[in-house]
Structure 1
Amino acid sequence: MLPTRPIAFSIAGFDPCAGAGLLADCKTFEANQVYGIGILTANTIQTEDSFTALHWEEGDTVRQQLEVLLQRYSPRVIKIGIVQSGEELLTYLELIQRYAPTAFVVWDPVLRSSTHFDLTSPIEENMLWAILEQIDLITPNYPEIDLLVTGTAPPIAKAKYLSTACAVLLKGGHHPHLKGQDQLFTATAHHVFYPQKIYNTTKHGTGCILSSAIASYVALDYPLFSAIAKAKQYIEKTIGSTSTLLAYHV
């Protein structure tokens, strides 16, 4: 008999070119021997290099999807991508706490598309802290952490600030000089994950893929540090998989 695979949920948007969002998350889960289940928050009209429009799902519909699935399945990990607002995200986290309180929750705060299309409405500081108290890991890039935490402090200082609430992986893909250097901040530690190779090309959806790869390895019972290290290897493999903006997962 084949072993039972762990289950991971993705609460995210639909990207029709499958480079990011639900489809990319579930492809990443599947490639890493994790069974992925998706909860749709939004439909997007986009390709890998253009973004035209975003249509949010009704909040009640998203909550109904999530509640029905949580009543039936026991996810080890729940990865969250684009959400309409902090208020909406809190309602999803309340359901997770009710039905799957031991699930490891990863939030990849996709606040703005790579083509500068604003996705999530601004989140007030009090709301942000209420969210982070129910999150195990948040994975912002440099532009995203500046949107999450206002003020003139440098991104690393902002990451340390947020790490008093939950673990923070500050992704380095957008850094002009430290490209590919991801930094993990927790309440007690700081570690830099260096890339094995710097590619001249990039990929649409690398943030989604990295965070869902981390979720995959956590679901497979890797400690967080090891899960991030393995996810770094996975994302580098996908970046090198093609010369286009879309990645292969095999």
Structure 2
Amino acid sequence: MTSSIPNVLTIAGIDPSGGAGVFADLKTFSALGAYGCGVVAALTAQNTTAVTGIHTPPTDFLKLQIDTLFDDVTIHAVKIGMLGTAGIVRTVAEGLARYRPANVVLDPVMVAKSGDHLLAREAVAMLKEALLPQVFMLTPNLPEAGVLLDGRAPESLKEMYRAAERLRELLPHSGERWVLLKGGHLPGSELIDLLFNGDRMVELPARRLDTKNTHGTGCTLSSAIAALLPQRAGQLRPVEAAVRDARQYLLGAIAASGQLAVGKGHGPVHHFHALWR
């Protein structure tokens, strides 16, 4: 009998403070009813204020992690986060090509909330060349969109529309592929994300919450989408349903973040806000 609980994999870095990366992804999977697996693509020395060091595993060991997991466990969705170097990106891309998992969600993590760079510049070209062809959904914020498009970040909703169209052109033209362009860097009391599949552009508005506890929001949103995609498969417009539900989960986690007291900088969101009473 096939379990109705999906197995969802994160391939990302470790944030010791637990607000971002693999630890945040696993919390998100668990909160949303998915079984979480993790492949470690990077180790960071990090807290809520700074990233003080990055260590990446040898690529042959990264390959061994991927192969050993996929040889045994059926994976229903994959979230990809911090990869760090061109060699890591290539190894992950080759692993995805071997096993061809469904529902690959790429959060192109490039810069931490602290401003520290998490993706080497030479790795961006490898990401576009080797990884994007295998992605089901790309979830950049506006600065990341600027980097992927070799230009500046969009500065208005109109520019976001054009950027979403251009980002979709980076993905394969055949088959279903999506871009979720996150508009949180634009000013204003309301933020708008754009969900685009090459045909239909969906505006997703939300009220901006006044808090500094935004560490790991991108990781959490992309992980929530990966966890929900297999679970919304039978619904009308399943991708849109998964994204809307993931955004509602994240907004709740941000709103409840004040219940936590973690660090002196950008604190984490409350991944278990609906479960802890």
Both structures adopt the same fold (TM-score exceeding 0.5): yes
Residues 84-93 or 30-39, more deviating: 84-93
Alignment of 1:47-196 (within 5 A): 47-99=47-99, 101-122=100-121, 123=123, 128-152=128-152, 154=154, 156=160, 157-164=162-169, 165=171, 166-177=177-188, 179-195=190-206
The one of 190, 199, 212 aligned to 2:209 = 199
Structure 2, unmatched stretches of 5+, are 172-176, 262-266, 273-277
AA aligned to 2:210 is N
Structure 1 SS opposite 2:71: helix
- The structural deviation recorded for 1:192 is 1.0
Structure 2 SS opposite 1:79: strand
- The structural deviation recorded for 1:124 is 5.4
Conserved 8 A contact 1:87-1:127: no
- The structural deviation recorded for 1:52 is 1.4
> What is residue 19 of structure 2 aligned with on the other side?
19
Residues 140-149 or 90-99, more deviating: 90-99
Conserved 8 A contact 1:70-1:96: no
- The structural deviation recorded for 1:50 is 2.2
Structure 2 SS opposite 1:150: coil
- The structural deviation recorded for 1:19 is 0.4
Conserved 8 A contact 2:93-2:130: no
Structure 1 SS opposite 2:229: helix
Output the CA distance in 2 between the equivalents of 1:42 and 1:87.
12
Q: TM-score, normalised by structure 1?
A: 0.91
> What is residue 248 of structure 1 aligned with on the other side?
270
- The structural deviation recorded for 1:25 is 0.3
Structure 1, unmatched stretches of 5+, are none
Task: Give me the CA root mean square deviation.
Answer: 2.2
Q: Deviation string for 1:7-36 (max 9, x for gaps)? A: 000000001111000000000000111000
Residues 220-229 or 117-126, more deviating: 117-126
Check 1:31–1:124 CA distance in 2 against 1; reply closer, same or farther (3 A cut). Answer: closer
Structure 2 SS opposite 1:42: strand
Q: TM-score, normalised by structure 2?
A: 0.83
> What is residue 275 of structure 2 aligned with on the other side?
none
- The structural deviation recorded for 1:85 is 3.0
Q: Deviation string for 1:136-170 (max 9, x for gaps)? A: 11101011111222135845223211212242111
- The structural deviation recorded for 1:234 is 0.2
Structure 1 SS opposite 2:228: helix
Question: How many residues matched?
Answer: 248
- The structural deviation recorded for 1:129 is 4.2
Output the CA distance in 2 between the equivalents of 1:75 and 1:93.
16
- The structural deviation recorded for 1:97 is 2.7
- Aligned identity (percent) is 34
Conserved 8 A contact 2:225-2:242: yes
Q: Deviation string for 1:72-111 (max 9, x for gaps)? A: 1111100000112345323322222322x24210000011
Conserved 8 A contact 1:86-1:128: no
- The structural deviation recorded for 1:114 is 1.5
